[in-house]
Amino acid sequence: MPVATRETSDARIIAHVDMDCFYVQVEQRKQPSLRGLPTAVIQYNSYKGGALIAVSYEARKYGVKRSMRGDEAQEVCPQIQLVQVPVARGKADLNTYRNAGSEVVSVLASKGRCERASIDEVYMDLTEAAEAMLKESSPENLDDIHEEVLKSHVLGLHVEDERDAKREVRKWLCRSDADYHDKLLACGAIIVAELRMQVLKETEFTCSAGIAHNKMLAKLASAMNKPAQQTIVPRSSVKGLLESFPIKKMKQLGGKLGSSLQSDLGVNTVGELLKFSEEKLQQRYGINTGTWLWNIARGINGEEVEGRLLPKSHGSGKTFPGPQALKTISSVQHWLNQLCEELSERLQSDLDQNKRIARTLTLHARTYKGDSDSHKNFPSKSCPLRYGAAKIQEDAINLFQAGLREYIGFHNNKSQGSQNSSWGITSLSVGASKMVNIPSGTHSIVKYFGGQLPPSSSLKQPPENVIHEAAPSSPSGSESCSGLNSYESQLGYPEEDTRVKYLKASFGEQLQDSSCDLSRQGDGLTEESPLSSSQAFHSWNENGTTEREAQPEPKRIHAIPTLKAVVKKNTAKEKGNCSILELFKNYSDQCTSSEKQHATNAQTGKTSSIGSESNYNSDSTCNQVESLKEIYCEAIGTNNRGSSSTQAVEGRPSWSYRMEEIDPSVVDELPPEIQQEFRAWLRPLKRPNVVKRGSIITHYFSGNKN
């Protein structure tokens, strides 16, 4: 549901920049011979010539529309050039378009705070830039105003003869009696026109823009004059703009809420909402939504430009229309594997480039409506996200199975793998959301392992908060299924205090599982209503693929590198240069060397194959963390890894590690109280024989409270 945000009384200058027929422009840049020709980009499947997803303005003149298929477009415009979207893994590969969008954003970001709202849309807060311009030189004093600015459309500006339009716009921009809001808008228009020209110069793409005092109005305006034009919304023209604006075309009113306004209140335009008091709207739609509706009727919208150049989530999906509907688990598994591989690559790429991790995996599916299930939607399902393609694939199929059980009922699901007539999947998608930054400074190690944030002080927080933070937000429909058990049941320490559980889950337990299960906190499965799940991916959910090679699948075995080998390697290559980010990045892929191999090495008295580039790269900080754990295990005289690793630990030659050989940043990133104890342990050749009872580290790794 929309949430009302109060607008400040200060004038803001917000622009919404929207690329023109974006995919077509990207294809035309690739093939310049297509420029100026009626062109459309079509989906990869060949059914009736493929679905059109982007149509050039030249083709639109012939009546070609996005709702058409290629065959139909050719009927109305025989000379149309149809370009197929790139394909990878049997589905559209949007990477080129995504990268092209990023090029545009990096040009725009030079002038003000940008929020990337979709693959080809950006909001900008230009208030500061406009204020600075106004301070320096008011538009009325400008002698030279670029043609591009003069081509602006000013809503409410009456132009009798189109030939006079530029002159009228100049007059409007340069009015000495304009109020402060309009003067700022004029400055905003000049800045946006400059930016659009710069985008064209640097990327060869044209775009359109709306310039207004808030996001809602800027967005409405950007679509009003396309392509390659800009529209200004002075405050005085807001009422006129909204009066006749169709209610269903407003952002967030295209669905049920908009339909309810039409059918229940008889409201078809935004202006018609003005008839209703705020109380009345609140009674009907709740306090927040009621106020939001009351506000939008008046063009009030205090929503901030978020300052986000990156997507809030990643998604990968595919549709299976009509006869292509998937009717067996194995076919679903096949496609989920493709989608998850793509998702995994993009998550890895995001991690590499932006130092972010996603915390929630969600599966959405749509089914064709059979007779018996016509009232039912396939329930979307979420669980904590584990890195590595294999884990994402495993979790996604489990989510699917859980959704399917619910969708058709458990008994009907017994015929798994065989052809069935009771369900058919017409669309599948996996999404990764709840992106969090991994700070390169302190306190990231716990985050690294648990995706949660405990700076040292937060270890003293009420632990429930921390644990629940990791849980998927929807409280409903929690369900366990294989591999997706709840946090509590997985830890299996019913008597322990929650803080210890948290620490174990965040760090100790994770260390024991070198398959790097980063996500088994929080509820295992969470049901999401289709509405909330789609909202979760609402804000620029990147769909598509990257060009990166798939990461090698992590093996499900424990890596137990010897510290000696690790420090040797790291002091040679990485000393003083490791980060928890790198640690995280490599953990799931690299803390996976063969336990068998390790055991063999241990038995033969060799150090492990840690030095082998095939298993570890130079970023072996994960091994250092592993080593810290080992030091601890040794010190307390226990093998904390589980029986399968015992042999390796026992067979390891004794170590003579020195503090200076350990990359300090690994220790530095532990909470301070833990660091202190580790440092004591790591003193050259002076490790304590016995762990002090009640030691914090004991709690930290083992949960032993005695």
Instruction: Please give the residue ranges that form the binding site for ligand DCP (CB under 6 A).
Output: 18-23, 53-54, 119-120, 226-227
Q: Cα-atom radius of gyration of the chain, to the nearest Å?
A: 29
SS3 per residue for 165-210 = HHHHHHHHHCCCCCCHHHHHHHHHHHHHHHHHHHHHHHHCCCEEEE
Measuring CA to CA, how many Å separate 581 from each of 27, 440, 586, 622, 639? Answer: 36, 6, 9, 10, 27
Query: Nearest approach, Cβ of 15 to ligand DCP (angstroms)?
Result: 15
Query: Nearest approach, Cβ of 303 to ligand DCP (angstroms)?
Result: 20
Between strands 230-232 and 153-154, the pairing is parallel
Q: Which is nearer to ligand DCP, 22 or 616 (CB)?
A: 22
Distance CA 696, CA 466 (A): 19
Give the helix, strand, coil percentages of the chain, each rounded to 5: 45, 15, 40
Distance CA 585, CA 310 (A): 19
Query: Nearest approach, Cβ of 544 to ligand DCP (angstroms)?
Result: 10
DSSP state of 269: B
Q: Which is nearer to ligand DCP, 226 or 501 (CB)?
A: 226
Q: Which is nearer to ligand DCP, 117 or 560 (CB)?
A: 117
Measuring CA to CA, how many Å separate 493 from each of 161, 463, 476, 502? Answer: 79, 15, 24, 11
Query: Nearest approach, Cβ of 409 to ligand DCP (angstroms)?
Result: 34
List the alpha helices (DSSP H) in 248-379. 256-265, 278-285, 287-297, 329-354
Query: Nearest approach, Cβ of 51 to ligand DCP (angstroms)?
Result: 8
Q: Which is nearer to ligand DCP, 66 or 606 (CB)?
A: 66
Q: Which is nearer to ligand DCP, 23 or 448 (CB)?
A: 23
Q: Which is nearer to ligand DCP, 227 or 672 (CB)?
A: 227
Q: Which is nearer to ligand DCP, 131 or 542 (CB)?
A: 542
Distance CA 85, CA 29 (A): 14
Query: Nearest approach, Cβ of 91 to ligand DCP (angstroms)?
Result: 12
Distance CA 663, CA 681 (A): 15
Q: Give buried/exposed letters for 641-667 (b at 16+ CB in 10 A, else e).
A: beeebebbbebbeebebeeebbbebbb
Query: Nearest approach, Cβ of 224 to ligand DCP (angstroms)?
Result: 11
Task: Residue 472: name the closest of 360, 363, 313 by CA.
Answer: 360
For this structure, is 406 an active site residue?
Answer: no
Residue from 27, 58, 115, 121 carrying the catalytic annotation: 121
User: Residue 163 is encoded by which pair of tokens?
Assistant: 């030939």
User: Residue 370 is encoded by which pair of tokens?
Assistant: 């059979």
List active site positions.
Answer: 121
